[in-house]
Amino acid sequence: MSEERVAVDQEELITVTVGAPAHGGHCVARLDGQVVFVRHALPGERVTAVVTEVHSGYLRADAVEILEPSPDRVTPPCPYAGPGRCGGCDLQHVTPAGQLDWKTAVLREQLTRLGRLAPDEVDALGVAVTALPGGPTGWRSRVRYAVDAAGRPGLLKHRSHEVVPIDRCLIARPEIQALPVLRQSWPTAESVETVASSAGDVVVVEHPGAEPGTVRERALGRTWTLGAETFWQVHPAAAETLVGAALEMVAPRPGERAWDLYGGAGLFAAALAERVGPDGRVTIVESAPDGVRAARENLTDLPWVEVVAARVETALARRRVAGPVDIVVLDPPRSGAGARVVEALVASGARAVGYVACDPASFARDVRTFRDHGWRLAELRGYDCFPMTHHLECVGLLVPN
Ligand SMILES: C[S@@+](CC[C@H](N)C(=O)[O-])C[C@H]1O[C@@H](n2cnc3c(N)ncnc32)[C@H](O)[C@@H]1O
C-alpha cells in the first residue's frame, strides 16, 4: 500500500487521495502518475481501494475503506450497493445535494474537455444539474431484471454479466417494488422487464417469449397508448420537464416548420404541434417500428404531424427529410447525433435547435461540431433524471452565430 509503486496488480490494495468525478460513475485519482478511476469514493477523500482492472494507461479500483470521508458521504440506503455488489447505482453513497454537485462537475468537465468550451463560457451558461420532484428513490418506472442460471432474478454487477440476486430495488417505482417478481424463480427467463406507467398500468414481461402488451402514459394533458417496451422517459417527471425546457428554448411560433428527430412516440412532437398550430408542420423521424407505430396512432388529432420511419442519418442524407425548417428538437440515444447529422442541421436553415441529451460526452462532442460550423451553445440546463446513478440529462439551445 504505497503511492510510490509503479507496477500494480489486479486485486492489489492501494491508498489514494481522490480527485474530481469523471463521466461514468467514478472519481479520478493518481497513483505514481497513473490515472486510477475509483468507484464508491468522493472527491477529496483518502481511501484504500482494491484494483479491479489494470490497463496500459489507467487502473480501475473500488474504494473499500474510507480513511478520510467527505462531508457528502452517507451510508447507502440500498443494502446491495457497494464494491463488488449490484452495479445498478453508482452514487448511493452520496448525499442528494452531493449527487447534483457531482453531475454538474461532470457536465462542466465534458463541455470543456470534449466540447472545447472555455471555462468562462461554461460559467456564463450557469451550468447546474437540478433535481426533479420526487426524491432520490422510488422513481424508476422501467426496470429490467436479469436472471441467473438458477432462475434467480437480480441486477448485474458493474462491468460484468454476473447477476446479483436482490429482493428489492429501491430506485424502482413503489408499484414495481410491490410486484412479486423478485420473490419468484424464473427457470426459463433470461430477463424480466417491469413497467409502472404514469397512467397507473403495471406490466411484467418475461424474456424470451412473452409479448410486451401495452401501457398508457400521460404527459402534457394527453394519454399515449404504446408498447410496454417502447421508449418512454423513465423518470415520472422527465417527460414534462424536458419538453418544457426544450420548448422554452426553441420558442415555437404559429405556422413554423419543426422537426422532432429521434422522436419516439412523439412526446416533443405533440408539444411542438400544439404550438406551431395547423398552419405549421411537424416532422418526426424515428427508426424503431414500435415507436413509429405509437407516434402514428397517438397523434391522429394533430394531422399536421408527419411520421417518417427511418434512421435520422439516412433520412437527412437521402433528403427524405429536408430543409428549410425553422426549429428542431433532437433527443438521440446515448451515442449522440454525430457529425453528419449535426452538419445537416447546420445546413437546414433552422433558427434554433433544442438538443435533449442523455449522455454529456456525446452531447459535448456534438456541441463542438456545431461550434466548428459557426453555431453556439446559447443555453444549457441539466436535470437529474436518474438519481443514485451517474446518469444525467441535459437540454441545450444551439443557434447560428
Ligand atoms: C432517447 S429516445 C427519445 C424518444 C422521444 N424523444 C421521447 O422523449 O420519448 C431516442 C429515440 O431514438 C430512436 N432512435 C435511436 N437511434 C435512432 C436513429 N439512428 N434514427 C432515428 N431514431 C433513432 C429510439 O428508438 C428512441 O425512440
Per-residue model confidence as pLDDT tens digits over 268-288: 999 999 999 999 999 999 999
Q: Based on the domain organization, do 387 and 250 belong to the same domain?
A: yes
Q: Based on the domain organization, do 11 and 51 belong to the same domain?
A: yes
Residue 226 lies in a domain: no
Q: Based on the domain organization, do 375 and 338 belong to the same domain?
A: yes
- Mean pLDDT of all residues in 98-120: 98
Residue 269, H or E segment? helix 267-276
Residue 294 lies in a domain: yes
Closest CA to 62 of 71, 73, 52: 52
Q: What is the pLDDT of residue 211?
A: 86
34 a known binding residue?
A: no
Q: Is 366 exposed, middle or buried (0-12, 13-18, 19+ CB in 10 A)?
A: buried
- Looking at the DSSP assignment, which residues form a beta bridge with residue 177? none
Pocket test for ligand 1, best of 285, 286, 316 (most atoms within 8 A of CB): 286
Say which CATH number the domain at 261 has.
3.40.50.150
Residue 299 lies in a domain: yes
Give yes or no for a contact between 85 and 157, defined as CB atoms under 8 angstroms apart: yes
pLDDT exceeds cutoff 80 at 4:
no
pLDDT exceeds cutoff 80 at 1:
no
Q: Distance between CA atoms of 24 and 356, rounded to whole angstroms?
A: 19
Give whole-number Cα distances, 281 to 122, 256, 325, 349, in Å.
34, 7, 9, 15
Residue 27 lies in a domain: yes
Comparing 146 with 211, the larger pLDDT belongs to: 146
Pocket of ligand 1 (CB under 6 A): 231-233, 262-265, 267-268, 285-288, 291, 311-313, 331, 333, 358
- Mean pLDDT of all residues in 359-382: 98
pLDDT 10s digits, 179-226: 999 999 999 999 999 999 999 999 999 999 888 899 999 999 999 999
For residue 31 the three cell numbers come to: 497513483
Last residue of a domain, one of 73, 89, 111: 73
Q: Based on the domain organization, do 243 and 358 belong to the same domain?
A: yes
262 a known binding residue?
A: yes
Q: Which atom of ligand 1 is nearest to the CA of 312?
A: 20
| Atom 26 (ligand 1) nearest CA | 264
Q: Based on the domain organization, do 243 and 354 belong to the same domain?
A: yes
256 a known binding residue?
A: no
Q: What is the pLDDT of residue 212?
A: 86
Cell 442524407 -> residue: 317
pLDDT 10s digits, 53-104: 999 999 999 999 999 999 999 999 999 999 999 999 999 999 999 999 999 9
Q: Based on the domain organization, do 211 and 239 belong to the same domain?
A: no
Q: Based on the domain organization, do 68 and 202 belong to the same domain?
A: no
- Mean pLDDT of all residues in 114-123: 97
β-pair type (26-31, 13-22): antiparallel
Q: Which atom of ligand 1 is nearest to the CA of 262?
A: 12
pLDDT exceeds cutoff 60 at 3:
no
- 301 alpha carbon to ligand 1 midpoint, in Å? 22
Say which CATH number the domain at 48 has.
2.40.50.140
Q: Which atom of ligand 1 is nearest to the CA of 231?
A: 27
For residue 401 the three cell numbers come to: 452565430
Q: Based on the domain organization, do 207 and 245 belong to the same domain?
A: no
The mean predicted confidence, pLDDT, of the chain is: 97
Q: Which DSSP symbol is given to 86?
A: B
CA terminus-to-terminus distance, the chain: 53
CA 251 to chain CA mean position, Å: 24
Last residue of a domain, one of 20, 42, 73: 73
pLDDT exceeds cutoff 70 at 16:
yes
- 113 alpha carbon to ligand 1 midpoint, in Å? 26
Q: Distance between CA atoms of 368 and 134, rounded to whole angstroms?
A: 34
pLDDT exceeds cutoff 80 at 246:
yes
Pocket test for ligand 1, best of 229, 231, 272 (most atoms within 8 A of CB): 231
Residue 318 lies in a domain: yes
Q: Based on the domain organization, do 380 and 253 belong to the same domain?
A: yes
260 a known binding residue?
A: no
Q: What is the pLDDT of residue 6?
A: 64
Q: Based on the domain organization, do 169 and 277 belong to the same domain?
A: no
- 330 alpha carbon to ligand 1 midpoint, in Å? 9
- Looking at the DSSP assignment, which residues form a beta bridge with residue 61? 38, 51
Q: Based on the domain organization, do 284 and 255 belong to the same domain?
A: yes
Residue 184 lies in a domain: yes
Give yes or no for a contact between 251 and 236, defined as CB atoms under 8 angstroms apart: no
CA 218 to chain CA mean position, Å: 20
Cβ-proximal residues to 269 (8 Å cutoff; 6+ apart), any chain? 258, 260, 263, 282, 284, 295, 299, 302, 305
- Mean pLDDT of all residues in 14-28: 98
Count how many Cα atoms sit within 13 Å of the Cα of residue 155 in the half-sphere of its side chain: 20
Q: Based on the domain organization, do 278 and 164 belong to the same domain?
A: no
Percent helix / strand / coil, the chain, rounded to 5? 25, 35, 45
Residue 208 lies in a domain: yes
Range of the domain at 26: 1-73
- 377 alpha carbon to ligand 1 midpoint, in Å? 22
Last residue of a domain, one of 19, 38, 73: 73
Strands (E), 140-280: 142-147, 153-156, 163-165, 191-196, 202-207, 214-219, 222-227, 257-261
Q: How many domains does the chain have?
A: 3
Report DSSP letters for 337-396, one per residue.
--HHHHHHHHTTT-SEEEEEES-HHHHHHHHHHHHHTTEEEEEEEEEESSTTSS--EEEE
Residue 91 lies in a domain: no
